[in-house]
Structure 1
Amino acid sequence: MGAAAWAYLARVVEGPHRELNALLGEVGPEEAAERIRARRGLPPGLARATEARHAEDRAAADLESAAATGFRLVTPEDPEWPVAAVQAFARGGARAPAPHALWVRGAPLAGLLGEAVGVVGTRAASGYGLRLAAEISAGLAGAGVTVLSGGALGVDAQAHRAALAAGGRTVVIAAAGPGVTYPPAHHRLFREVAESGAVVTEYPPGTRPARHRFLTRNRLIAGLGGALVLVEAGWRSGARNTVHWAGRLGRPVGAVPGPVGAAGATGCHAAIREGEATLVTGARDVLGLLRPVGAVHEDAQLELDWAPDPVQALPREELRIYDATPPRGPGARVREIAAEAGVPPGLTAQLLTALETKALVRREGARWRRCVGAATGRGGGAGKKISRD
């Protein structure tokens, strides 16, 4: 009876409903279903929301149809119900009610959503947007984070595919019911996602996608993940709606900046400018939003990518001598360099020798000068053995 009651409730109400959630907490699914059928003891809002479908009991057929396409109905009574993730909806108030049941194809939800991030963006993604979506999603998957997205064209599909290619897990939050793949071209992608991750929807079997269902679906992407990243979005992109949901639910949001003036970057730039999102440029930045402060060294990759050049790495005294050594012309004697740097001549001679071993200065007779291009490791004898006169 329990599964049948939940299946009835999953169809009788279009999407989530705050008053239904409250009634379920008071009397449970069987009594809630019976009250809706009998039209008794219902709060006004729930009575209106169920008026059109209360006599339409397709529970048995829906459970059978879902099973035929690999879906199961997951409810708060099941061990895999993602309790911690769903708790976020309590912060959203009446405007962001929690799901009361989910149709799932794939792995158990609780394990998938223990650490997850929503990755969203425009369907009309540019090459830049697709590249960043792939890099971020692969990086998150490599760090053991589940990638959530909506299964749409553009950024969504790229996020799912990159997570799979990295050997990670990803979840499609769909705006259509079991048995309906949208977009139809992603039938194979959804099947591959379900092999290690899951396809999830609030809508009963056979439900077709519609604009309002996409908007409602966006709240699930925002709420079921521990953070959200907006990769590329126009000014009126539906992905920005997901950002609004995340803010309402108290989830941290990151946005990737794009080229100034690019239409596909305006949504990201607006989210950053208006304080809805933090600027992020890669998976490590996103992990910094998701994990506790101090758990992620967000600048570590930058330190590798932009390591100090040989001159920037010099100790202070050696840098003074390097700066005082002429880069061109016949060079300068030790005493001249010492006077320019304000360092005793004896120490200057020692430091010049140290710089010579690093291929940063060259001695020509009694004079010294810098090696051209030494700061970047190009030309001027950088990296070469320098003979002494």
Structure 2
Amino acid sequence: MSTVHREANGLRAALSTVRSTPIADGSTLDEIFARALLGSVAEPGDGLLGRAIDAIGAIGAAEVLLDSASPAVLVDALTRAGGSIDAREAETGLARWSPRLDHGAFARSLEQAARVGAHLLLPSDAAWPVGVDELGIHAPLGLWVRGREHALGSSASISLVGARAATGYGEHVTMEASAGLVDRGFTVVSGGAYGIDGMAHRSALASDGTTVAFLAGGVDRFYPMGHETLLARIVATGAVVSELPCGAAPTKWRFLQRNRLIAAASEGTVVLEAGFRSGSLNTAGHAAALGRPLGAVPGPVTSPASAGCHRLLREYDAVCVTDAEQMAELVGGARRPGGRAADPTSDDRGTGMATSHDAVRVLDALSTRSPRELADVARRCGMTPSSVMGVLGGLEAIAQAKRHPLGWLRVRRG
């Protein structure tokens, strides 16, 4: 009996509770277990793990991890399956994933999912949003869903995103747009955040429409807390979704990765109001990189809250849209040809384009109060200790991290 099958059988009851359909056979059980497990040890969008799964499948990748295989074994398995990986990549990958392999925490995560009624959706399921498959090796391994799974598979969906610090103008435009799109049969997709996201969801619900919220943490921990009631209402008629297991905390890196799902799971993206470096521009970048229609709502030229929308119109050839009818036309195929794709790796929350993804992940893993040892920081951010040490040196040089006798601290701003 394989390690995966033995482990999966041990958790059969727990795995059965997180599926909306009965588990048909042993191979299905193993696939569910493997994808749930891999999703708990890797950060969202891990391309190396995606390449491994493409070559040897989720079960094969989980087997390698559970058997504590050496980098050479991983290289051999992928090479024989036609994949491409070198010894250094294999060593780095296993060093990222292995420290997070915690059987007790994994079992508790499944129990928590069962308590809140969350289901694990797999790529083979009918309700799977096929648009996310276009992310290739960066596609999610599975999606945890609370609510109606089939809300994700809507053939007519559009994402409405924008600033958290929305103005009255931005909220009014969003309210009218979301209601108008619902009237035209669209599912409204957004990120559940304050400001534009929240208004898009609320307006869709008020119009008796379907709306889907993608979270940057586990679906058992509604975030932001001020939207707990709103997200509970979405669960009742639509869906709240995350690729992260229950218990996972939202971090800045995970918000950046969450944005790619918002863009990929919908037919097009519209930015309704955004500052010059708003996180919603990151979502717009993913939409453009995927070749999806991208729209932006103009605002007063004197308003910093609309500077990001104007930037999309000027620099990235987003289509100017002003109402639900024009947004529906956008998704129907009306887009400006020859547009330049925005950079989907641009940083979020106004920190600037130059900040590296590794730096974001390491900063997420540090505390401003409690010093953390190198190994703990590496485990928290899903990187190797040597990689973390290199990043910490750079952060120390620009006064964003500092050494402490007991480890490392994040420098408090302000």
**TM-score > 0.5, shorter chain as reference:** yes
Equivalent pair of 1:63/1:73 in contact (CA under 8 Å): no
Tell me which of 197, 206, 219 is aligned to 1:178: 219
Pick one of 264, 268, 285 that aligns with 1:223.
264
Query: How far 1:113 moved relative to its partner?
Result: 3.3
Distance 2:97 2:208 in 1: 43
Amino acid at match of 1:131: H
After TM superposition, list the pairs within 5 Å mapping 1:276-291 onto structure 2: 276-291=317-332
For the structure 1 residues 21 and 271, does the alpha-carbon distance in structure 2 shift closer, same or farther, using more than 3 Å as the test? same
Q: Which residue of 1 aligns with 2:234?
A: 193
Shift in Å, 1:22:
2.7
1:49 and 1:249, CA in 2 relative to 1: closer, same or farther beyond 3 A?
farther
Deviation, structure 1 residue 23: 2.3
Contact conserved, 2:128 with 2:153, CA < 8 A, in 1?
no
Q: Distance in 2 between matches of 1:89 and 1:237?
A: 22
TM-score of the superposed pair, with normalisation by structure 2: 0.66
CA drift of 1:204 comes to 1.0
> Cα RMSD over matched residues?
1.9
What's the counterpart of residue 39 of structure 1? 69
Gaps of 5+ in 2: 1-7, 9-29, 75-84, 336-414
Contact residue 230 and residue 255 of structure 1 kept, 8 A: yes
Shift of 1:67: 1.6
Deviations 1:225-274 (A, max 9, x none): 11000000001111111111111111111000001110101000010011
1:52 alignment partner, SS class: helix
Quote the Cα distance in structure 1 between the aligned partners of 2:275 and 2:141: 32
- Deviations along 1:130-157, one digit per CA (max 9) or x if unpaired, are 0011111111111111111110000000
- Matched residues in 1 for 2:168 and 2:322: separation? 16
Is the partner of 2:189 in helix, strand or coil?
strand
Alignment check: 8 A CA contact 2:159 2:263 kept:
yes
SS at match of 1:27: helix
Residues 112 and 197 in structure 1, CA contact (< 8 A), matched pair in contact too: no
Alpha-carbon contact 2:151-2:238 (below 8 Å) kept: no
Whole-Å separation in 1 of the counterparts to 2:127 and 2:96: 28
Distance 1:133 1:217, change over 3 A: same
Is the Cα–Cα contact under 8 Å of residues 269 and 287 in structure 2 kept in the other structure?
A: yes
Q: Would you say the 8 A contact 2:182–2:210 is kept in 1?
A: yes
Matched, 1:68 2:68: no
Q: Verify: 1:18 aligned to 2:47, yes or no.
A: yes
Among 129, 133, 142, the alignment partner of 1:87 is: 133
Unmatched tracts of structure 1, length 5 or more: 295-389
Tell me by how many angstroms 1:29 deviates.
2.4
Secondary structure class of the residue paired with 2:248: coil
**Matches of residues 194-343 of structure 1 in structure 2 within 5 Å?**
194-292=235-333
Q: Which moved more, 1:33-42 or 1:107-116?
A: 107-116
Report what 1:313 is aligned to: none
1:128 aligns with 2:169: yes
TM-score by length of 1: 0.70
What residue is the counterpart of 2:34 in the other structure?
5
| CA–CA distance in structure 2, aligned partners of residues 293 and 232 of structure 1 | 21
Residue 154 (structure 1) aligned with residue 195 (structure 2): yes
Question: Which of 36, 44, 49 matches 2:96?
Answer: 49
- Name the structure 2 match of 1:28: 57
Counterpart of 1:46 in structure 2: which amino acid?
A: G
**Structure 2 partner of 1:99:** 140
1:139 equivalent in alignment to 2:180 = yes
Instruction: Give the secondary structure class of the aligned counterpart of 1:231.
Output: strand
Matched AA of 1:261: T
Secondary structure at 2:273's aligned position in 1?
coil
CA distance in 2, matches of 1:282, 1:131: 11
| Cross-structure match for 1:163 | 204
Alignment of 1:338-377 (within 5 A): none
Distance 2:60 2:244 in 1: 22
Q: Deviations over 1:324-379 (max 9, x none)?
A: xxxxxxxxxxxxxxxxxxxxxxxxxxxxxxxxxxxxxxxxxxxxxxxxxxxxxxxx
Alignment check: 8 A CA contact 2:128 2:152 kept: no
1:77 is aligned to 124
Letter aligned with residue 132 of structure 2 = V
SS at match of 2:100: coil
Cα distance in 1 for residues equivalent to 2:243 and 2:37: 13
Q: Percent identity?
A: 41
Q: Who wins on radius of gyration, i.e. which is larger?
A: 1
The alpha-carbon distance between structure 1 residues 238 and 274, as it changes in their structure 2 partners (threshold 3 A), is: same
Q: Is 69-78 or 37-46 further displaced after alignment?
A: 37-46
Change (3 A) 1:101 1:57: farther
